[in-house]
Structure 1
Amino acid sequence: MHDPQSLYEVFLRVARDGSFTAAARGLGYTQSAVSRQIQTLEEQWGTALFDRLPRGVRLTEAGRVLLPHAQGMRDRLRAARAELDVLRSLDGGTLRVGAFATADVSLVPCAVASFAARHPGVTVVHTEGPTAKHVELLAEGALDVAVLSAPGAVPPTGPDLHDLWDEPMYVALPRGHRFAGRARLRLAELADEPWIEGDVRPDRTLLAPALADGFRPRVVFRVNDWTAKLGFVAAGLGITVLPALAAGAARADIALVPVDPADLPHRRVYAATARGTTPSAAATAFLADLRGAVASMDR
């Protein structure tokens, strides 16, 4: 199959030079190759574009009509090729990224910083929100990559998932708490503690997986923002679950103790792309940056 841009380049060169031989010499082709490409173009348009004369060739009436359009198509194809080359080389374009709140504490910023350092010509657009929102945005084609979480054993449905991390859970305690120096905690030891969570119903919080074993936390304050939660903990008003992704934002006046995974399983974290689509070059590169950011956090 002939490249459309090449066909029109040859047509315009023959029209300028008035000769297949001269055009072939100028383009670095053989004369027969130029002749074949002109023949292909004439077959596509269903008409002769050149009169073959004893000495050279001359545009027919149809060729003269096609000439300005060929120039325009040649220029547009050149521009399209240049833009596609920019996307492939990651010298331009846009990368649209979405992530849930705690992924934005360190994982996503580290990955974006790494990506931006290597590909400064690509514009990164960030969207924050819960996993369900990003699943919808991926399906709508409004995101290129999303970082999603699955607190239980069931992964999000809809997008193509790329495993990133099994994220441990911590309990955030006031620095002076009696358990602050422990290497690990069981939730049964915290049954009488006041809890600070994003919902008064534990089944809507990160503690939900523990409820099946009979654990019933006493939620005394409903606080959604992670920074505010840690402020309440530091003031001695209660304790809270803190995902490992948010550990980098922990204050100096609180203590973080891992929760036994037998009580609170690790949370699965995924990168996701829209199902059935071909990720862009930028999306593919960013997936590698996410994996690199996780690897650095795991060390």
Structure 2
Amino acid sequence: MSEFTVAGLRVVREAARHGSFSLAADRLGYTQSAISRQIALMEQAAGRPLFDRLARGVQPTEAGLVLVRHAETVLGELQATRQALQDLGERPPGRLRVGAFATAMAALVPRAIAAFAGREPRTRVPLREGLSPGLLTAVARGRLDLAVVTPPRQPPAGVELIALLDDPLFVAMAPGHPLAGHPGVTGEQLRDQRWITGSTEPGTTLLGAWADPAWQPEIAFVARDWVAKFGLVAAGLGITVVPGLAVPALPPGLVITRVDHPAATRATAVATRPVAEAGPRRAFLESLRDAAADLTAEVRHRLRTA
């Protein structure tokens, strides 16, 4: 028994569309005898006639209509497959797995992703938020392609660190706070303040980057979520440290001032693995640099207009 073939399906479809073996031959570039041979083979595969031969042309039988309906599906899928393979050869779709610590998610990374989408529209960007040590491990193990991190003294083996910016530290407070309106504050001015932090352990926060390691801050409330921190600060219950990257996400009612100390910064870097072909990674890194420059300019403007 004959088998259905792609060529035979095309012939049956064209003959049914035009009601003529001759027109099907013209459309497909076949001879009349080749068309008749393909029809005969397809009727053998079907086990019944596919066309009624009329005085003027042909007409599909009930079996012919069934085969034509399925031929449309099969040939359509084959065309879609051919197009997908062609697209794959021209430019394969890809993904870039990105990680970042929480404050980088406030504005830096979202803006970089938006810019990157314009440069690499066929590349998806799965996103993961986490702490820098875990993100570095994920990059080292190949679970992330790159991550925005606070750089350690020694990165894991196989991880390259690319400096992004030295992020200045600010203090956010309610408008009625005694330090509000100061262009900058010293470590001594901050020593006796009540703090809103993300942890009871100062060493795990940004507190004390400008102070004596023996300093014990008065922690009024602990809130891991930035929205909760800002709410507590807005209520006048304390002040909190805000990296420059998070300043654009501050509620309009809060006031910020720069910490006047050389150590009041947080280094920010991009962790990645050296690769021979790094087109999307390079494009995303450029997007991060552009976003970082824009955010720095916004922070300066906010300070000038405060």
Fold shared per TM-score above 0.5: yes
For 1:119, the equivalent position in structure 2 comes to: 120
Aligned to 1:168, the other structure's residue is in SS state strand
- The answer for the alignment partner of 1:268 in structure 2 is 267
Partners of 1:200 and 1:220 within 8 A in 2 = no
In structure 2, distance between residues paired with 1:209 and 1:279: 38
**Displacement after TM superposition at 1:122 (Å):** 1.2
Between the aligned partners of 1:168 and 1:259, the Cα distance in structure 2 is 8
Q: Summarize deviations over 1:65-108 as a string: whole Å, max 9, x none.
A: xxxxxxxxxxxxxx989636414xxxx21111111000011110
Query: Partner residue of 2:91?
Result: 86
Question: % of aligned pairs identical?
Answer: 38
Partner of residue 281, structure 1: 279
Measured in 2, the distance between the counterparts of 1:292 and 1:84 equals: 31
Change (3 A) 1:120 1:231: same
**Partner of 1:202 in structure 2?**
202
User: Residues 168 and 261 of structure 1 are in contact (CA less than 8 Å); yes or no, is this contact kept in structure 2?
Assistant: no
Superposed, 1:57-136 pairs within 5 Å as 83=88, 85-87=90-92, 92-136=93-137
Q: Does 1:246 align with 2:251?
A: no
Contact 1:273 1:279 in 2 (8 A): no
Distance 1:272 1:279, change over 3 A: farther
Alignment of 1:28-43 (within 5 A): none
Higher Cα Rg, which structure: 2
Q: Tell me the equivalent position of 1:163.
A: 163
Q: In the aligned structure 1, how far is the partner of 2:89 from the partner of 2:123?
A: 13
Change (3 A) 1:210 1:164: same
Runs (4+) of structure 1 exceeding 2 A deviation are 79-85, 153-158, 208-216, 276-280
Which residue of 2 is the match for residue 193 of structure 1? 193
Q: Distance in 1 between matches of 2:149 and 2:199?
A: 20
2:264 maps to a residue whose letter is P
Q: Which moved more, 1:206-215 or 1:230-239?
A: 206-215
Partners of 1:192 and 1:144 lie apart in 2 by: 43
- Cα distance in 2 for residues equivalent to 1:134 and 1:228: 24
* Preserved CA contact (<8 Å) 2:248 2:295: no
User: Per the alignment, do residues 139 and 84 of structure 1 end up closer, same or farther by CA in structure 2, a change over 3 Å counting?
Assistant: farther
Structure 1 residues 206 and 279: CA distance shift in structure 2, 3 A: farther
Q: 1:251 to 1:112 in 2, by over 3 A?
A: same
RMSD between aligned residues: 2.4
The one-letter amino acid of 1:221's match is F
**CA deviation vs aligned residue, 1:105-129 (integer Å, no higher than 9, x gap):** 1110111000112222111111111
| Contact kept? 1:203, 1:211, Cα under 8 Å | no
- Secondary structure class of the residue paired with 1:256: strand
| 1:10-29 aligned within 5 A | none
The 3-state SS of whatever aligns with 1:290 is helix
Code of the aligned partner of 1:132: P
Cα distance in 2 between the residues matched to 1:84 and 1:216:
61
